[in-house]
Chains A and B, each alone.
Chain A
Amino acid sequence: AQSVTQPDIHITVSEGASLELRCNYSYGATPYLFWYVQSPGQGLQLLLKYFSGDTLVQGIKGFEAEFKRSQSSFNLRKPSVHWSDAAEYFCAVGPPGGGNKLTFGTGTQLKVEL
Chain B
Amino acid sequence: GAGVSQSPSNKVTEKGKDVELRCDPISGHTALYWYRQRLGQGLEFLIYFQGNSAPDKSGLPSDRFSAERTGESVSTLTIQRTQQEDSAVYLCASSFGTGRETQYFGPGTRLLVL
Contacts and interface: CB of A to CB of B under 8 A. Distances in A.
Interface of A: 4, 6, 32, 36, 41-46, 49, 51, 90, 92, 97-107
B103 interface: yes
B99 A99 contact: yes
Contacts of B40: 106
A75 B105 CA distance: 22
Interface of B: 3-4, 31, 33, 35, 40-45, 48, 50, 56, 58-59, 91, 93, 98-108
Contact of B107 (A42, A90, A102, A104): A42
Contact of B43 (A45, A98, A104): A104
Where chain B touches its partner, the secondary structure class is loop
Given A100-B33, A100-B98, A105 B105 contact: no
- Chain A CB within 10 A, most for which of B35, B43, B98, B106: B43
26 contacts: A4-B42, A32-B100, A41-B107, A43-B105, A43-B107, A44-B91, A45-B105, A46-B102, A46-B103, A49-B102, A90-B43, A98-B98, A98-B100, A100-B50, A100-B56, A101-B58, A101-B59, A102-B33, A102-B43, A102-B103, A104-B42, A104-B43, A104-B44, A105-B42, A106-B42, A107-B42
B106 A43 contact: yes
Given A43-B106, A101-B59, A106-B42, 18 more contacts: A4-B42, A43-B4, A43-B108, A44-B43, A44-B91, A46-B103, A46-B104, A90-B43, A97-B99, A98-B98, A98-B101, A100-B31, A100-B45, A102-B35, A102-B103, A104-B35, A104-B42, A107-B42
